[in-house]
Each structure stands twice: as structure tokens, then as C-alpha cells.
Amino acid sequence: MVLVFIANTVFYNEAEAFIVNDVRFVQLGDALNTDLRVLSSAPASQRSFLGVVLSGSELDVSWEARLDLPNLPNLPRHHSPPLTRLVHRLARDYPPLAKADLDLYTLAPNATDVLGSATLPDGSVMRYRVPGLMKRHTFTRGLAAAAITAGAISIAAAILIQGLSLPLRALSEAAERVGRNEEWEPVQERGSREVRGVARTINAMQTRIQSLLDDRTQALAAVSHDLRTPLTRLRLRCGFLVDEEAQSAIEADLDEMEIMVNGVLAYLSGADDPESIRVTDIVATIYTLVDDCSDMGHDARYEGPEHCRLTVRPLAMKRVLSNLIENGLKYGGRVLVEIVQPKYGWVDIRVSDNGSGIPESERERVLTPFYRLEDSRSRQTGGIGLGLAIVSREVQRVGGTLRLMQGDVKRGYGGLCAVISLPLEVQAPKGHRI
């Protein structure tokens, strides 16, 4: 609309300027031809008076006798190409002006007033001045009308586009919820026929995906839960074994299997955790975890502000921090928890240890479920590859992000540094109360 408005404005401006200038040139030729005939037929004594009578706002006429010409000042004359073409046009259309040696000029290259002269049959001169003949005309009335029309159409187009984009925006939000593994809500089937078709397809796809996820979750949960009973029986029977070496080996295997079952159950149950989010002083939670570790003889400390209120799920966030602190103590020996506010609206919680860290090529993969490294962070040292996956999922549920990076070697924490970025304000999902 803006480009069309500009193009039309330029086009109509040029067209109207050409039309108006053409009319003015015709009127100028008629006036000069008439004035020349009137002065030529009048007595010399009356020509000065007639020059005043013939003068007006569009044309100023004066008469000068031939004897007065040598006394006139020698003023500079500028003959621009448009004036030269205008002289040829007037001489062609009005033969008397051609016989009178018609001349048009300006006193400066950019002057808008045009001066000229024509010689009468007796040798005297009719001089004239045309104010603003070379002035460029701007038609503000037509420009204002075009601007109002373009503005009205632009507003209507913006409203129409807004109405058409609302269903597309709803589809985009539904896709975002799928990517974040949030609770799914059916997309309203409204808008154009094509948009309604896409919404209907997305709803059907969501139903199938949700059914598959529910079946998988129920199957894994049932299997993991049912494994508890045989594990308990095996543990009881293991107590009656005479061979102590075999008993110890079997108990170790049973402990590992129990850890795996508990981890799977914790991971599967976390997706349906009904805990609501509320404002929590996260520093108090960190102090509790750090003090518990210190009481057990571990080197864990906190640095940062005394208070930091965030809108999170308190128990879930406590499990997240506990998991990171315990991992740092297990694979390092010392843990430092920090809270920094790098920019307005966000808070970073950093958990650093002095262990061997995680290679940069593996930092993204360790966040996926059931992925384990082959070095110190392997099954032999405990864990089935769900700890960081649970941490990442819980952080994403409150709109945060988890990054794994290298720690600060100069401060003695050059191992793994887990950075949790959380927004200061979080919107509560539907059905939850803040």
C-alpha cells in the first residue's frame, strides 16, 4: 500500500503539473498576443496607461519607447531549455508574437519569475513579467485525499491480517507446547477453510501422539512397578545363601536393579507431577541442601544474595538442585552453588564441581534419557542416565533452560558447571494456582 501510494502520488503530481502548466502557457500566449495587439493599435501617449490597465496578478505589462532602451541597466539574462521551448511554442501558435521577436528569460538560474519583451511595429518595446511561472506546483489537496484513502485501506488490511493470523498463531502455540512436552489443549478449528483443515489435522495428530505416549508410559510404569515384587523376593532368598561371596554379588546386582527401577519410576511420574507452582525463596532451599551435605562431611558451599524469590515448583526444584549437588560431590568432591542475575528478568543458578567434567561433544547427549558416559559417570559408579534428563525436564516445565559448561579452573571448580536460567516471573498453567 505504501509503494502504491508513493507511485500514485508521483504519477498524479507529474500529470496534474503538466496539465496545469499547459493551461497556464496557453493563457500566457493569449494574454501576450492580446496585449501586443492592444498596444500596437493605441496611440503612443496612451500605451503606458494601457500597460497598467492590462497588468494583473498573473501578468505585469509595461511599455517603453525605443529612445528609453539605451538608459536601461544591463541585467543578466538566463535562457533555460524550458523557456526556449516555450518561446518556440508561443511563436508557432501565435504568429504576431513570432514577428515581435518574443523573448523569455530569468534573472537567475533558479528564479521562478519570468521576464520578457516583445517589439511593437513602431520599434517600441512591450515588457512583461510573469510571477511564479517556473515554480513547481504541489497539489496538497489531492495528496491529502490519497493519504487518507491509503491510511484507511492500510488500517482495514491490518485488521484483516490480524484476524487471519490469530488461528495461525494458535497453531504455532500448539506446536510450541508439543515441543516443550506440556499439557496439550485442542486447537480451535476456526479461520479459513485451509486453516481449519490444518487445525483438525493437528488435533488428530495430537490425539494419536498422546495415546502413544500414554501407552508407553503406562507400560513402562507397570513393568517397573511389577519388578519390585520379584526383587523383594530375591533379596529375601539371597539372605539364606551360605556362600557369602555369591550373596554379596547378588545383593549388588539387586541394588543396581532397584536403582534402575526407582529411576524409571521417578522419570515417568515426573511428567504427570500435579505440584503447583508458587513463589519460593530459592536461596532457602539451597541453604538447606548445602547444610545437609556439610553435616554429612561433604564440601559444599553457597555464594550469592541472601534472598531470591522465584516462581517454581518447590519440591521439583529441590530435587533438581539436590541431583546436581549430589552429582558434583560424587564425581568431584567439592561443590559451589551460586546465584547471579545476568540480565533483567532472568536469574542464573550455577552448580560447579571440581571433577573431570563432561566433554563438550557429549554435553547435549547427556541430557537425553538413559544416556551414560563410559568414563567415571557410568553405571559402575551408579546412575542409569536419567539424572540430568530429569533436571532438564523440570527446568523446562517452568520456562527455564539448562546449560552444561566448563567450570572456573582458577577458583578450583574446573569440572562441570550446570547453569539453570530461570525467569523471575512465570505464568501459571491452566488448572494451577500461584
144 is a domain residue = no
pLDDT over 90 (residue 70) = no
Residue-range definition of the domain harbouring residue 119? 2-130
Q: Cell digits for 302?
A: 553457597
Which of 50, 27, 28 is CA-nearest to residue 120?
A: 50
414 is a domain residue = yes
pLDDT over 60 (residue 306) = yes
pTM (2 d.p.): 0.48
End-of-domain residue from the set 80, 113, 130: 130
233 is a domain residue = no
Number of neighbours of residue 401 by Cβ within 10 angstroms: 14
End-of-domain residue from the set 105, 130, 155: 130
pLDDT over 60 (residue 401) = yes
Instruction: Give the whole-number percent of the chain exceeding pLDDT 90.
Output: 7
Residue 32 contacts residue 102 (beta carbons within 8 Å): yes
Q: Residue 300 pairs with which residues in a beta bridge? A: 335
Helix (H) or strand (E) holding 162: helix 140-179
249 is a domain residue = no
Q: Which residues of 314-348 are buried (b: 16+ CB within 10 A; e: fewer)?
A: bebbbbbbbbbbbbbbbbbebbbbbbeeeeeeebb
Alpha helices in 42-94 (DSSP H): 44-54, 81-93
262 is a domain residue = no
pLDDT, tens digit, 9 for 90 and up, residues 187-243: 777 777 877 888 888 888 888 887 887 777 777 767 766 777 788 888 888 888 888
Amino acid at 75: L
298 is a domain residue = yes
Distance CA 99, CA 215 (A): 106
Residue 352 contacts residue 336 (beta carbons within 8 Å): yes
* Residue 420, Cβ density class (10 Å: 0-12 exposed, 13-18 middle, ≥19 buried): buried
51 is a domain residue = yes
Determine the pLDDT at residue 79: 82
End-of-domain residue from the set 115, 130, 145: 130
Return the CA Rg of the chain. Answer: 46
CATH number, domain containing residue 91: 3.30.450.300
Total domains, the chain: 2
Q: Cell digits for 20?
A: 496545469
pLDDT, tens digit, 9 for 90 and up, residues 250-286: 888 887 777 777 666 666 665 555 677 888 899 999 9
CATH number, domain containing residue 323: 3.30.565.10
40 is a domain residue = yes
